[in-house]
């Protein structure tokens, strides 16, 4: 059980985050539950991120930072976790924001749990801040492995986890180019049930340049991760069907491609999902919807 005798280390990976890092740090400093320390890892930024960190750490003793050559977000988070002196780890990306009662609500809800997450708001890039993660994904609590395999509904900036459990699950896989969070949460979910708060306590910033928004890049990684998971633990009787997991990933990438106005790839992904589940009304509707949007775009282009 976590209480005030336990300590929370907040981990923030930062890369070229000069425009957002101060606001993110202030959202952590304003938590109503006491924070033990804030560790920021600058991952080889080329802008003024380090200058901002020098300034913030000189004014707020809770903040300390290290910098490394650019090695990616997984290496940055793992480095901070190794240096953390708290019993618990809370993650927040350098462009996301916590609501003031985020940690307090999680601590109150944890009871004897070993990890927790919460709902979040989307803002930026066409989102006005009112859309919730739960509006787009079905979020679950308890033994969530099968639900997570179909859809990574966890936002890393919402997760609070016992440090021992984090390392028991292996930490973030630094060999992965993306989806390192999904892989870790799947591993953790096999070890412990999740305490999920259905209240949005985090503001997740969406922007077109984020890796998670590049469907053509992310889809092969989705497929690879699903195949890896099934090859490693296929003997477990509760495992979801591989076809369902892949169909859902194709559908997710179809929506991502559509958000980027890449209608050709959105249609391709929708068709792949339909091929795996041809009797699904949801897959049929998605295929028809993307086909219409693709035709409209093509017609408009031809008319130019």
Distance (Å, rounded) from C-alpha 92 to C-alpha 136? Answer: 21
Of 87, 46, 97, 86, which is closest to residue 67 (Cα–Cα)?
A: 46
Residue with more model confidence, 137 or 144: 144
Distance (Å, rounded) from C-alpha 242 to C-alpha 240? Answer: 6
Please report which confidence band the pLDDT of residue 273 belongs to, taking 50, 70 and 90 as the band edges. Answer: very high
The dihedrals phi and psi of 35, each to the nearest 5 degrees, come to -95, 135
122 class by beta-carbon count within 10 Å (0-12 exposed, 13-18 middle, 19+ buried): buried
Of 133, 144, 267, 257, which is closest to residue 200 (Cα–Cα)?
A: 133
| pLDDT tens, position by position, 86-130 | 999 999 999 999 999 999 999 999 988 999 999 999 887 666 656
Q: How many CB atoms lie within 10 A of CB 153?
A: 20
Residue 300 pLDDT > 80: no
Structure tokens at 123: 């803002």
Domains of the chain: 8-210 (3.90.550.10), 214-303 (1.25.40)
| pLDDT tens, position by position, 34-87 | 999 999 999 999 999 999 999 999 999 999 999 999 999 999 999 999 999 999
Residue 198 pLDDT > 50: yes
| pLDDT of res. 211 | 47
Maximum alpha-carbon separation in the chain: 67
Mean pLDDT score, 160-166: 98
Structure tokens at 21: 């890092």
| pLDDT of res. 217 | 87
Residue 1 pLDDT > 60: no
The per-type count for the chain, helices as H runs and strands as E runs, is: 12, 9
Mean pLDDT score, 12-22: 96
Q: How many CB atoms lie within 10 A of CB 135?
A: 11
Please report which confidence band the pLDDT of residue 158 belongs to, taking 50, 70 and 90 as the band edges. Answer: very high
* SS3 labels along 115-141: EEEEEEEEEECCEEEEEEHHHHCCCCC
């Amino acid at each position: 059980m976590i209480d005030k005798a336990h300590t929370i280390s907040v981990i923030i990976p930062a890369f070229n985050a000069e425009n957002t890092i101060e606001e993110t740090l202030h959202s952590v400093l304003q938590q109503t539950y006491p924070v033990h320390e804030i560790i920021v890892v600058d991952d080889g930024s080329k802008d003024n991120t380090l200058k901002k960190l020098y300034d913030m750490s000189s004014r707020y003793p809770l903040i300390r930072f290290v910098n490394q050559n650019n090695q990616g977000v997984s290496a940055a988070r793992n480095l901070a976790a190794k240096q953390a002196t708290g019993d618990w780890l809370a993650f927040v990306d350098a462009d996301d924001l916590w609501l003031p009662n985020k940690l307090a609500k999680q601590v109150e809800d944890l009871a004897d749990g070993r990890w927790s997450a919460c709902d979040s708001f989307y803002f930026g890039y066409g989102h006005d801040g009112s859309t919730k993660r739960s509006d787009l994904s079905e979020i679950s609590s308890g033994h969530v492995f099968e639900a997570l395999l179909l859809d990574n509904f966890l936002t890393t900036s919402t997760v609070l986890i016992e440090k021992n459990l984090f390392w028991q699950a292996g930490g973030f896989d630094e060999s992965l180019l993306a989806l390192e969070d999904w892989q870790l949460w799947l591993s953790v979910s096999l070890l412990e049930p999740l305490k999920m708060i259905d209240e949005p306590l985090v503001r997740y910033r969406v922007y077109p340049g984020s890796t998670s928004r590049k469907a053509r890049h992310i889809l092969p990684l989705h497929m690879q991760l699903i195949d890896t998971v099934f090859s490693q633990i296929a003997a477990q009787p509760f495992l979801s069907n591989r076809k369902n997991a892949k169909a859902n990933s194709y559908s997710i990438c179809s929506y991502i491609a559509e958000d980027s106005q890449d209608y050709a790839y959105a249609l391709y992904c929708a068709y792949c999902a339909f091929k795996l589940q041809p009797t699904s009304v949801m897959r049929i509707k998605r295929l028809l919807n993307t086909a219409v949007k693709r035709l409209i775009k093509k017609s408009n282009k031809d008319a130019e």
